[in-house]
Structure 1
C-alpha cells in the first residue's frame, strides 16, 4: 500500500478489468434460463467467515500477520464492533482538503482462500461493493487496486494462482480521495459489504454483451474473440428466435413481442451460446419517449413515476443487503403501489436491478457521486457553479468522476427497468458534469438523463429532464404551467422523517393536473438506524465529531420494514383506482369508476363494496368489471338508503387482486375509496330519568351529584377545572381535565417548534410548552333544565402575553348523566398558528380498551388521512402508540364522533360523544414525556392520557421541504366546539 496512491485522483485502479455488462455464465441452457447464479458451475461465492484484523492506522499493518480474528463477509466493520458507527449528512467527517485524507487512516485486512483445480481456465475475482477502496493480494503478491464503493470491480487473477489453496488478502482503507465523491446522507460504513465471488471461465469467452430492444426489434452486440456465438431468444422455456452472431452483432425481428412495463413486466431471456458457456441476458421490449407536452411515455403511454429513494440500509447489518433483503423491499413497494426506485445515491447491487427488471419497476440509476460537504467547508452554505475548488470543475478530477458514470452505465446498460441515468446528487456543477452528460447521451441515446443541481444554472441545459427536490407548491404550479417540453421530475419530495409525510395527496393532485409533472421519488424508503441490545440509535449516539442527529431516521417504512401511516398514505395516493359518487337514489347508488392503471384491465381484480350505516355493515357485494386501463365507467350498486342515520352513511369500495402474485396473496387489497353518502344525520334520542342534580360546595370545590350520589362531577373553583368524575365514589380522573394547545413536536415540526415553544434560551416562541392556565372567573347557576357552570380564563406562555382567552360552559341536564362541555376560544391576533387545541383527560393506566367511531384504524391527521376510513373500531391504548424512534406526536384520529375508554377488568371508564366532529388521541405517554425524551426506548409510561380536540394541525413534510400548507394549520383566531362525556 502506498498512501500517495489513495490520495491521488488520477490513481483510480490497478489491474482491474474493463467495465462490462453484468452477467453470470452457466454451463447449460437450463441453468441459464433459471438464472440462479449460485447454481452455475462457473460461479463460486466466497461469502462467509473470513480472517480479519483491524488496524487504527494503515501504517500499523505489519508486513506479516501471524494472528487473525474473524469477520463475516459481506459486512461493515462498524457493525461488527471494530469501530463505532458514524452518521453525518452534509459535513465530511474529516477536514475538507482534497485529495488528502487523515494520516490516521484505519485499515481492515481480510483473508480467505480459493481452491483452484483447473489452471487451463481463466479465473476472475469479482467484488460487488467495497467501501471505499481496497488493495488485492494473491498468494502474497499485490496485484490490484480499486475504488468507488458501489461499483463492481473485477480482476483477472489467473496468472497469480497455483493448483490447490490460494491465499486472497484484501486491504480496505477507511478513506481515500474517492471518499470526497461519496458524501452521502447515511451512516458512514466501511468494509466488504457486497458479495464477493470467483468466476472460472474458458480461456476464450464472451467479454461483453449489449442489447437494445424496442417494441418489435432486438439488436445484440457481442464483444468476444474469434469463434461462433449463437443468440437464442426465449419466451419462458421456448426458443422463439435463434441466430448466429456475425461480426459481433445481430438483429431479431419480433413483431409480436409482449411489451415490458413496470405494471406488466414481460421478460424474455436472450441466451448467448459460445466457447462452452451459456450467458443469459433478460430482455424487456419497451420504448422511452417524451411527448410534446413533456409527458413521459413508456411504450407510447403517458405514465407517472410513483417512486421512492432507496438506500441500502439494515439496522443490524448496516449497508449489507442480501437477495432476500432486496426482494423484501421490492415486494413491500409493490404492495404500496410504488412503481419507481431512485437508487440514491449510488448504483445498487446488480441483483437489485435484475429484480426490478423481473418484478417491474422503473429505475433512476444514480452514479456514486455526492459532494455537498463542500458547501460547509468554509462555514458558509453555498453551492458554486463552475467553481474550480469543487471536484466537479477541477481539472484533476475529470476522469475520477467520469469513470464512476461509465462503470454504472456499462454495468446496467442492458436493464429494461433503467429508464433514466442520474449523474450523482448534490455536487455543485462544473465542466466535468457537462462531459459526463455528453458522454452518456452519446453512449446511450435512448434513456433519459437528469441531475437536480443543473437547475441551479438558470440556463438551458442538455439534460432531458428538469429535476427538483422539495419544491414549494407554488413553484410546482408554475412549473406545470410553464411552456417547456421537458418533463419535470421531483427526484426527492415528501420527506418522510418520523410521523409523515402529510402532504402526499397535494403533490399527487398537481401531478395529475399538469402533464409535464411526471411524478417523483419520496425521500426515502427506510429509516437508517443501528439496532443494539433491542434499542435503536441514530447520529450523535456514538460520539461522532460531527453528526446530524436523527435526520437519517426518515423512512417511509420503519428500519425493520414495518409500515407506518406514511407508508399506507403513499399506497392510497398512488393507488391505480378512483371512484366518484355520481348519484344516490333511494334504491341504488351510481358510482363512476376510473381505472388508473396504465396497462392492466380491471378484469384482473375483484371490486368489493360495502355500505355502512352508523359504523354497522348494512350491505355488501362483489363486482367483476372489464374496464381497460385509463377508462372510466359508471356502476350501479343495489342499495336502499335510509332517510336518516345517527352518525353517518358511507360506501367503501376496495380493489383486490384475483390471483396470488409473488409479492402478495390472492385477495390482497391494492386500493380503497370511501365516499360519504347524502343521508341526513339525526342524533339519537337520549334516554333521561326523573332524577335531578344537586349542588354542594365549599371554599375550593363545587360538586354536582345525582340524587343517589352514585354519580358526581367536581370542579375546582379557583382553577375552574373539572377535577373529578365519580362513579360510586371512585374518581375516574387521575388529575384535573384541562385545555391545552401543545403536542409533542413531530420531526416535521422541527423548525416551527421554535416559534411554538420554549427550548433552551429561545426568545422567539410563544412558549406554548410552558403555559400557565389562569382562571378569571368561575360561576354556576341553576336553570330550568339543570346546572350550568361557566369558567373564563386564559392560556399564556411564560414571559408572554396570553396566547388565548377561553370560556367553558359545563352543563348538566336533569335526568341526563352526561356532562355537556362547550368551549369558545379567542386567539391572540399576533399569535402563530397552534399545534392543536382541546381538552386533556388523565385516566388510570388500567383504562386500556378503546372503541371509537371516526377515522381509522391507524393514526391519521388532516393531511394524512387518505389511507384511513370512517367506521367503528376497537383497539387499545397500548396499540395506539406508534414507536417512532425519535418520540413525537402520534396516534391521532380525525372525524371522530364517539369514543369510549374502559378498564377491561371492571368495565368502568368514560365515554365521549359529539354531534359535530372532534379529533381524538390516547396514549400511555404524556406529551411532556414525548417532547423531552430523545429516544423511544427512554420513554416511561404513566396513566392513560386522552385528548378530545377541536382540531390538530396537520403533519406536512417540513423537516426537509415546504412549510405546512395554511389549510392544514390551526390558524383560526376564534372558534368553538363541544362534546359530552359520561362515566360508564
Structure 2
C-alpha cells in the first residue's frame, strides 16, 4: 500500500570520476550524476479518476500538456490552492480511505541517456505525497513518505539515446494521515530527481568511535561483488592523513592518530575516499565525535550539551518547500550568526544538502521522522493501531539509513505530536538496530519508555525548576519547543536561559520557530505575505503559521536579536576597573579576536574607540583584562569582540559579540594579590584582606582583615528568622519546609586572577533535609585591594513555599558587636510595611542598643534602605559593608548550628550574626488581623543583590 519496488534503504551514496572530484564533495559536478530537474510537461487534474487512459498506455503525446518546473510545489506556481492547518486534517478521517477529490498531477519529460557505469538508479529526494513512476512505458513502482528518499533500479529500463519518464503524483494518500504537520499542505515534486550511475558498492556507513583512549572509525561496506580489497584514503583539510585498503563486505576499523574532533563549535571534518574501480570513487565526509548519556545527561565528546536551538521548517515564501541550495545556505548562515547551535528539523527530514551544511557550519541536529498525527484523538491514533506498524518502522528506517553518516545528526526524533503506543516502540527498536549510538527523542513518550531523555513543549519556568529538583538523577529534560515567536515576542527568554544554565538536568530547548511561513503575493504592486484562510480554504488555522523569529523574507525580528543576546557564548563582567571575559564555549578558545571598547556617559557622549589585543581565553574559563581610563568613569562601558580573520560564518572585521555594562566610580586600591589553592579551599590574600572560599560548599568560609579572622563559621545565604508574633499562622508552613536548615553544595567554580584582582564565579545548590525543594545560587565574587565584592542571583525550585521570612546573607562573627554606624533608614528599626517613623541619614548605636527588647523574644532590629554600615567588634576589629540599598540587622547567635531559631541567645564567648538581606517579609498583624499585603511579602521569586565587604 505504501511502497512498491523501491530499492533497499541506504545512506545517500554518490560516485565521482577522480579523487579530486570526490574531495570537492559536490554531487552535482559528478559525471555519474544526471539531474532530471528542469522543465517537465504537466497536466493538473482534480482527481485521479480523471486520468486519461492514454497516460497509462504510454501515449503521452496525445495529452494536453502544460509546463512546470521541477523541483516545485504546484500550488506555488498556480495549480490548486495551498491550505494551512495546525492540526486539523483538511479531509475526512476515514482510514485507510482517500477522498476522490484528490488533486493529481501528471508529469512527463524526455531525456537523453549515454551509457556510463554498470548500474543506474532513479532517485527521488521527496515527492508529496504519493507517486508512481514509469520509464519508457515500463512501470517501476510506487512510494509514499513525502520527505523521504525513494530509489528505483532502472538499469533494465533505460536505453541508450532518447528515453521517457512519466509520473503520477497525488496530493492526498493513505500516507497523508501520518503527515499532519503544522504547515502548508502542498503537493508536487519539491526536491531533486536524479539518475545515478553506480558501481558495485551499494552502501557505505561510517561510525566514529573511541576505544581505550584512541579514536577511529568503523566502515561498513555493502554489496561489493568483486573479491579484491578496495583502496581508501582519509583526508583532513585537503591533506592526506591515512591510506589503506578495506576488506569486502565487512566492517573495517581504522584508527586515526592525533584526532581532530567534530563539535558544533569546531566542526572538524574528515573525508573518506574509496576507489571502487578505475576512475570511479565514492566519498563520505565524517566527524569524530561521541554522543552519549553520562550520568543521564546528554554529552558531546564528554561535555554537557546545552541546546540553544530553533525549530526549522523548510519553507520559501516564493517556492514553498522547494527551497534552492542558495536559500538554504543563506538561511543557515543567518542562524549561525545569531549564535544558535542546534536545529530540530520540524517535523520531517530536510533535503540532504541541509545536512552537508550543518556538518560544515557546526549545528547539533535533531533529525525528525516524517510522522505527525496531531488531528487524531489519543484513543484512535495510528500509534496504537497495528495497521500502521510496518509504516512507522519503515519511515524510521528510511530516515536513519539516509542520514547515518552526518556527524551533525546527534539525535533521531521519532516524529511529532502523535500520542504514543506500541508502534513507536517497534519503530524505536528498528532504528536502534541500525544505529545503536545516537540518542532517540520523542516528546510524546512522557514516561521515557523508548527515548533517552524527557522532552516537553512550552513548559513554564516554575515547572521546569520543579522537575529539575525532584528528578536529579532522572533523564535530562529538553524543551523541543518553547518561546513561541508568533508576532511580537517571545518574552522571558533570559529567565528560561538562567534555568538552562543553572540546572544541569535541563539541557536547553528549541524556539518555535525560525521563520514565518507567509506566502509571497504581489497585489496592487505591493508585496504581502498571506497566511491561512487567505486562499479561500474552508478549513484553516489563520495566522498561527506566522510564528517565526524572522519574517518570511528573512528579516530579523526584535525577538531573534533578543535570543542571540541571551545565548551569546561569551559574557562580560566588570571587576572594578578590569573587564572579565567569560568564555562559555566547551571546545574553542578565543584566539581570533580583538577587544573594542568605549565608555558612554549619562548624556550619551562616547569616548574614542579603544582596541586591545585579546589574550587567548581557554574554553570554560575566565580572563581578566585591564582597561585603562575607566577608573573615574560613570555611565556605561560598551565592549565588543571583533574577528581578526574570517571565523566560520563571521567575516574578518565583523562583530562577533557585544555587550554594555554599567560603570560606577570605583575606589581604586592597587595592592598585590596572592592566590593559593588546596583540595578544599581557594585562598586570596592582599596586604589588608584575606578571603577563603570552601570549594565543597561554595561559601566564603573566612574573611580576614589586617590579619584578624572575623567569621566564626561560613557566611551563608539563609531564609529564616526568629518568629515574630504576627507570623504565628504562617510559621508552621515554614517549619515544615525546613527553611532554617539549608545545606550548601558547590556545583562549579570558575576563577581568574591577576596581580591585583581575582574574580570567581560560583554556582551552588542549597537544599533542606526531608523535603523536595532547593535554591540555585550564583555568586560573582571579586577580591582586590579595596575588599570583597559579592554579586549574587538566586532561583527557587521544586515544591518550595510561596513566601519566606527573608532572603539574604548571614555573617556569623567571632566577636561581639560593640557599635554600629550606618547610612540608611533610622534611627529605630523598620520593616517593609513599617517605615514611616524612620528617616534616611547617618546613624550610630551601641551594640546593646541595636534591637528593641520585646517582652516575648522575637525577631527585631531590621533596618531598611541601608547603603553603608560599619561594625566595630569587641576584639578591636571592624567590618564595613556597602551596597545599593539592603536590609541590615544584628541578631544574637543561634545556639544550635542549622537550628530552627528556637534559641537566639547572646553568648559572650561567641559573636553575633550580621544579616545583609535583599528581601524581608513585612510585619502585618496576623496574630489576629491581616497578613502583610502582597507587596510587602518576601515571595519565593528569583532574587538578586550585591554588596561589598571591607
TM-score, normalised with respect to structure 1: 0.64
Task: Please point out which of 118, 125, 130 is paired with 1:128.
Answer: 125
Task: Please point out which of 549, 560, 574 is paired with 2:542.
Answer: 549
Is the CA contact (8 Å cut-off) linking 1:575 and 1:670 kept in structure 2?
A: no
Q: Distance in 2 between matches of 1:554 and 1:119?
A: 48
1:666-708, Cα deviation, whole Å (9 max, x unpaired): 122221221112259xxxxxxxxxxxxxxxxxxxxxxxxxxxx
Task: Please point out which of 40, 47, 58 is paired with 1:50.
Answer: 40
Q: Distance in 2 between matches of 1:671 and 1:485?
A: 35
User: Greater CA deviation, 206-215 or 277-286?
Assistant: 206-215
Secondary structure in 1 matching 2:376: helix
Match of 1:18 in 2: 8
Q: Distance in 2 between matches of 1:371 and 1:57?
A: 24
Using the TM superposition, give the Cα deviation of residue 71 of structure 1 relative to its aligned residue in structure 2, in angstroms.
0.5
Secondary structure in 2 matching 1:616: coil
Task: Please point out which of 284, 287, 291 is paired with 1:284.
Answer: 287
Q: Does 2:622 match 1:632?
A: yes
Alignment of 1:430-449 (within 5 A): 430-449=421-440
Structure 2 runs not aligned, ≥5 long = 55-61, 667-933, 936-950
Q: Distance in 2 between matches of 1:562 and 1:661?
A: 23
Using the TM superposition, give the Cα deviation of residue 452 of structure 1 relative to its aligned residue in structure 2, in angstroms.
0.3
Q: Distance in 1 between matches of 2:123 and 2:433?
A: 28
Task: Please point out which of 535, 539, 551 is paired with 2:528.
Answer: 535
Match of 2:637 in 1: 651
Alignment of 1:693-772 (within 5 A): none
Is the CA contact (8 Å cut-off) linking 2:32 and 2:116 kept in structure 1?
A: no
Q: How many residue pairs get matched?
A: 647
Match of 2:203 in 1: 208
Task: Please point out which of 453, 468, 489 is paired with 2:456.
Answer: 468
Is the CA contact (8 Å cut-off) linking 2:531 and 2:546 kept in structure 1?
A: yes
Is the CA contact (8 Å cut-off) linking 2:134 and 2:167 kept in structure 1?
A: yes
Q: Distance in 1 between matches of 2:312 and 2:189?
A: 20
Task: Please point out which of 617, 621, 630 is paired with 2:610.
Answer: 621
Q: Does 2:94 match 1:97?
A: yes
Q: Distance in 2 between matches of 1:190 and 1:530?
A: 15
Q: Distance in 2 between matches of 1:118 and 1:290?
A: 50
Using the TM superposition, give the Cα deviation of residue 117 of structure 1 relative to its aligned residue in structure 2, in angstroms.
2.2
Secondary structure in 2 matching 1:660: coil
Using the TM superposition, give the Cα deviation of residue 295 of structure 1 relative to its aligned residue in structure 2, in angstroms.
3.2
Secondary structure in 2 matching 1:628: coil
Is the CA contact (8 Å cut-off) linking 1:25 and 1:278 kept in structure 2?
A: yes
1:351-397, Cα deviation, whole Å (9 max, x unpaired): 1111111111111000000000113xxxxxxxx2xx4x221111111
Match of 2:246 in 1: 245
Q: Distance in 1 between matches of 2:593 and 2:630?
A: 26
Match of 2:556 in 1: 563
Match of 1:168 in 2: 165
Match of 2:766 in 1: none
1:513 and 1:120, CA in 2 relative to 1: closer, same or farther beyond 3 A? closer
1:640 and 1:595, CA in 2 relative to 1: closer, same or farther beyond 3 A? closer
Q: Does 2:664 match 1:678?
A: yes
Match of 1:217 in 2: 216
Using the TM superposition, give the Cα deviation of residue 266 of structure 1 relative to its aligned residue in structure 2, in angstroms.
0.5
Is the CA contact (8 Å cut-off) linking 1:306 and 1:339 kept in structure 2?
A: yes
Is the CA contact (8 Å cut-off) linking 1:244 and 1:250 kept in structure 2?
A: no
Using the TM superposition, give the Cα deviation of residue 27 of structure 1 relative to its aligned residue in structure 2, in angstroms.
1.2
Is the CA contact (8 Å cut-off) linking 1:423 and 1:449 kept in structure 2?
A: yes
Q: Distance in 2 between matches of 1:480 and 1:605?
A: 37
1:487-519, Cα deviation, whole Å (9 max, x unpaired): 211111101111111221111100000011111
Match of 1:924 in 2: none
1:316 and 1:63, CA in 2 relative to 1: closer, same or farther beyond 3 A? same
1:409-461, Cα deviation, whole Å (9 max, x unpaired): 00011111110010000001110111112222332221111100111xxx452
Is the CA contact (8 Å cut-off) linking 1:131 and 1:174 kept in structure 2?
A: yes
Q: Distance in 2 between matches of 1:155 and 1:616?
A: 69
TM-score, normalised with respect to structure 2: 0.67
Alignment of 1:338-357 (within 5 A): 338-357=340-359
1:531-562, Cα deviation, whole Å (9 max, x unpaired): 11121110000111211100001111111111
Task: Please point out which of 663, 678, 686 is paired with 2:649.
Answer: 663
Q: Distance in 2 between matches of 1:554 and 1:259?
A: 36
1:496 and 1:255, CA in 2 relative to 1: closer, same or farther beyond 3 A? same
Is the CA contact (8 Å cut-off) linking 2:468 and 2:505 kept in structure 1?
A: yes
Q: Distance in 1 between matches of 2:8 and 2:17?
A: 24
1:816-847, Cα deviation, whole Å (9 max, x unpaired): xxxxxxxxxxxxxxxxxxxxxxxxxxxxxxxx
Is the CA contact (8 Å cut-off) linking 1:337 and 1:670 kept in structure 2?
A: no
Alignment of 1:108-123 (within 5 A): 108-118=105-115, 121-123=118-120
Q: Distance in 2 between matches of 1:462 and 1:108?
A: 40
Secondary structure in 2 matching 1:312: coil
Match of 1:336 in 2: 338
Using the TM superposition, give the Cα deviation of residue 201 of structure 1 relative to its aligned residue in structure 2, in angstroms.
2.4
Is the CA contact (8 Å cut-off) linking 2:513 and 2:547 kept in structure 1?
A: yes
Q: Distance in 2 between matches of 1:192 and 1:460?
A: 37
Match of 1:606 in 2: 594
1:564 and 1:120, CA in 2 relative to 1: closer, same or farther beyond 3 A? closer
Secondary structure in 2 matching 1:211: strand
Q: Does 2:308 match 1:306?
A: yes
Secondary structure in 1 matching 2:543: coil
Is the CA contact (8 Å cut-off) linking 2:367 and 2:413 kept in structure 1?
A: yes
Q: Does 2:362 match 1:363?
A: no
Q: Does 2:431 match 1:428?
A: no
Is the CA contact (8 Å cut-off) linking 1:88 and 1:186 kept in structure 2?
A: yes
Using the TM superposition, give the Cα deviation of residue 20 of structure 1 relative to its aligned residue in structure 2, in angstroms.
0.5
Structure 1 runs not aligned, ≥5 long = 1-10, 376-383, 584-588, 681-965, 968-984
1:618-674, Cα deviation, whole Å (9 max, x unpaired): 24322212110110122221124557xxxx710011122221245232122221221
Q: Distance in 2 between matches of 1:488 and 1:655?
A: 33
Is the CA contact (8 Å cut-off) linking 1:49 and 1:71 kept in structure 2?
A: yes
Match of 1:913 in 2: none
Q: Distance in 2 between matches of 1:93 and 1:266?
A: 45
1:460 and 1:353, CA in 2 relative to 1: closer, same or farther beyond 3 A? closer
Q: Distance in 2 between matches of 1:640 and 1:333?
A: 35
1:474 and 1:61, CA in 2 relative to 1: closer, same or farther beyond 3 A? same
Using the TM superposition, give the Cα deviation of residue 120 of structure 1 relative to its aligned residue in structure 2, in angstroms.
6.7
Q: Distance in 2 between matches of 1:640 and 1:627?
A: 22
Q: Distance in 2 between matches of 1:591 and 1:396?
A: 64
Using the TM superposition, give the Cα deviation of residue 119 of structure 1 relative to its aligned residue in structure 2, in angstroms.
7.5
Q: Distance in 1 between matches of 2:191 and 2:33?
A: 15
Is the CA contact (8 Å cut-off) linking 2:373 and 2:417 kept in structure 1?
A: yes
